């Protein structure tokens, strides 16, 4: 692999970011949001629509966090299987959350249409690809639980799965037509444009380094400015830094890296995911693969970027798609940080009166982040009584660093093992 850019494909191919000012001086609003990802931007967009005055303060640039680095699978639901969700939060609350997130892709694609967001929106479904007996059993279980709840999913047999994916390495696939793919950074930037259009104020390159209660509510401070508001939302998820660092103690950060190839040839594109679904597999150390609109193959795996991961990815791609004949040339490689909460669910915690934090998407944040942002706006506008996600406080995760290392070393060892196995 040569000349690999360590910047992301998403940064290279997204429409330009909105030009935003840095926060300077004092501003008064009803709600100030820390963090310019899907959650913060969707909340700001919807609050502005309700006439709530709102400002978003972003430390780096819009979509700098998970929102600009992810795989771009706009899925319905969460990582947890529906029955696991019911077990975690109870059947009634589980149903409310399941229903809200089953409709999340509808909501995402509706916003994309409404605000004409240029983000390579493709709604051809997703394929959860089964590997081995355990993978098939997992997909059968998911299929049964989803079908029972009325989801229009299809369990594909070996022949169907192999032709839809273009690989003989899978024995089944769960097709979900509700889902699709997007260019995630372009979506985040589009949400920012939409929020601005609705009247929200956005600032970038303005790390919040202090948050303080005041007589009227709260104030957040950056080096050169301050925002006073009745309410603050910390929408910083896995990227909680500077003045909100302590939020990071509530989840285990897991790294996930992706490689993007040069555009594939027409004959290659006729074989790999010819219907352009987004895909990921059932392996414990999971991989994902999809195409972008230029026909680049985007392949991802758990772990930080580095030669073990990229060597493994190259080898895994040749195993999955031997007709590529090891001829894939990679242009981009980048990494993102996922916030795994203890129960694998996102939570909205009221840390103190008027100070909220939303975090713990555990790798499913496109639909959920968009929906939670919209629900926060409805809640603050008095249009709903509660949120669909749990509002329980997350505790600091004990041995967080050890757990992070466990996942990182586990993924590394797996990738290394797979490589040497193939070399035997």
Ligand X SMILES: Cc1cc2nc3c(=O)[nH]c(=O)nc-3n(C[C@H](O)[C@H](O)[C@H](O)COP(=O)(O)OP(=O)(O)OC[C@H]3O[C@@H](n4cnc5c(N)ncnc54)[C@H](O)[C@@H]3O)c2cc1C
For the CB of residue 337, give the shortest distance to ligand X in the complex, in Å: 5
Give the count of beta carbons closer than 10 Å to the beta carbon of residue 152. Answer: 12
Window contacting ligand X (CB under 6 A); options: 113-121, 131-139, 325-333, 363-371: 363-371
Q: Write out the two tokens for 45.
A: 């967009």
Size of the site for ligand X (CB under 6 A): 44
Q: Write out the two tokens for 348.
A: 């909205």
For the CB of residue 392, give the shortest distance to ligand X in the complex, in Å: 18
The DSSP call for residue 396 is P
The sign of the CA dihedral 180, 150, 363, 209 is positive
Window contacting ligand X (CB under 6 A); options: 44-52, 315-323, 333-341, 391-399: 333-341
Which residue, among 292, 315, 313, has the nearest Cα to 302 in the 3D structure?
313
Interface with ligand X (CB under 6 A), residue from 94, 217, 363, 390: 363
- Which residues 62-101 are close enough to bind ligand X by CB under 6 A? 64-67, 69-73, 75
Interface with ligand X (CB under 6 A), residue from 43, 174, 208, 389: 208
36 lies in the binding site for ligand X (CB under 6 A) = yes
- Distant-in-sequence, close-in-space partners of 345: CB < 8 Å, separation ≥ 6: 78, 80, 85, 88, 89, 97, 360, 362, 389, 390
Pairing of strands 31-34, 54-57: parallel
Cα distance between residue 192 and residue 330, in whole Å: 30
Cross-strand pairs, 300: 258, 288
How many helices (H) does the chain have, and how many strands (E)?
A: 12, 20
Give the count of beta carbons closer than 10 Å to the beta carbon of residue 88. Answer: 16
- 17 vs 272, which CB is nearer to ligand X? 17
Interface with ligand X (CB under 6 A), residue from 20, 35, 80, 332: 35
Window contacting ligand X (CB under 6 A); options: 15-23, 141-149, 360-368, 384-392: 360-368
Q: Write out the two tokens for 27.
A: 């501003």
For the CB of residue 191, give the shortest distance to ligand X in the complex, in Å: 10
Question: Do 417 and 410 touch, CB atoms closer than 8 A?
Answer: no
366 lies in the binding site for ligand X (CB under 6 A) = yes
For the CB of residue 243, give the shortest distance to ligand X in the complex, in Å: 5
210 lies in the binding site for ligand X (CB under 6 A) = no
Distances in Å between the Cα of 179 and the Cα atoms of 38, 109, 127, 138, 286 are 17, 10, 9, 19, 19
Distance of CA 384 to the CA centre of its chain: 25
Window contacting ligand X (CB under 6 A); options: 34-42, 154-162, 191-199, 307-315: 34-42
x-marked contacts with ligand X along 38-67 as a string, rule CB under 6 A: xxx----------------xxxx---xxxx
Window contacting ligand X (CB under 6 A); options: 44-52, 324-332, 357-365, 381-389: 357-365
303 lies in the binding site for ligand X (CB under 6 A) = no
Cross-strand pairs, 176: 126
10 Å CB burial of residue 65 (0-12, 13-18, 19+) is buried
Cross-strand pairs, 347: 359
348 lies in the binding site for ligand X (CB under 6 A) = no
- Which residues 238-297 are close enough to bind ligand X by CB under 6 A? 238-244, 256
For the CB of residue 93, give the shortest distance to ligand X in the complex, in Å: 20
For the CB of residue 157, give the shortest distance to ligand X in the complex, in Å: 25
For the CB of residue 5, give the shortest distance to ligand X in the complex, in Å: 17
Pairing of strands 54-57, 172-176: unpaired
Residues at the contact surface with ligand X, assessed by CB under 6 A: 34-40, 57-60, 64-67, 69-73, 75, 207-208, 235-244, 256, 336-338, 361, 363-367, 369
């Amino acid at each position: 692999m040569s000349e690999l850019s360590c910047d992301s494909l998403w940064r290279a191919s997204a429409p330009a970011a909105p030009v935003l000012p840095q926060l300077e001086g004092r501003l008064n609003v009803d709600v100030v949001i820390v963090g310019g990802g899907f959650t913060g931007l969707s909340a700001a967009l919807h609050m502005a629509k309700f006439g709530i005055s709102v400002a978003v303060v972003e430390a780096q640039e819009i979509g700098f966090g998970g929102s600009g680095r992810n795989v771009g699978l706009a899925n319905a639901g969460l990582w947890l299987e529906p029955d696991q969700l019911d077990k975690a939060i109870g059947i009634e609350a589980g149903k409310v959350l399941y229903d809200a997130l089953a409709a999340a892709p509808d909501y995402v694609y509706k916003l994309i249409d409404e605000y004409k967001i240029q983000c390579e929106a493709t709604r051809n479904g997703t394929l959860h690809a089964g590997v081995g007996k355990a993978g098939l059993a997992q997909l059968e279980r998911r299929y049964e639980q989803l079908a029972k709840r009325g989801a229009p999913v299809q369990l594909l047999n070996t022949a169907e799965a192999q032709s839809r994916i273009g690989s003989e390495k899978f024995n089944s696939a769960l097709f979900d037509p509700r889902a699709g793919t997007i260019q995630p950074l372009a979506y985040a930037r589009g949400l920012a444009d939409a929020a601005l259009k609705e009247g929200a104020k956005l600032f970038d390159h303005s790390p919040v380094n202090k948050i303080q209660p005041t007589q009227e509510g709260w104030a957040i401070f950056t080096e050169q400015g301050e925002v006073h508001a009745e309410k603050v939302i910390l929408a910083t998820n896995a990227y909680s830094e500077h003045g909100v660092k302590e939020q990071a103690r509530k989840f285990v950060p897991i790294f996930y890296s992706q490689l993007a190839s040069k555009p594939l040839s027409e004959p290659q594109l006729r074989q790999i995911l010819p219907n352009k679904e987004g895909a990921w597999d059932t392996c414990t150390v999971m991989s994902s693969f999809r195409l972008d609109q230029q026909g680049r193959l985007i392949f991802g795996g758990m772990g930080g970027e580095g030669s073990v991961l990229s060597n493994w990815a190259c080898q895994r791609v040749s195993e999955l798609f031997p007709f590529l004949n090891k001829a894939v040339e990679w242009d981009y490689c980048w990494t993102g940080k996922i916030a795994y909460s203890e129960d694998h669910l996102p939570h909205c915690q009221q840390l103190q009166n008027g100070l909220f934090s939303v975090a713990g998407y555990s790798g499913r944040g496109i639909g959920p982040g968009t929906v939670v942002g919209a629900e926060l706006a409805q809640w603050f506008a008095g249009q709903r009584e509660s949120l669909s996600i749990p509002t329980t406080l997350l505790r600091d995760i004990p041995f967080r660093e050890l757990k992070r290392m466990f996942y990182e070393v586990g993924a590394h060892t797996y990738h290394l093992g797979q490589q040497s196995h193939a070399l035997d």
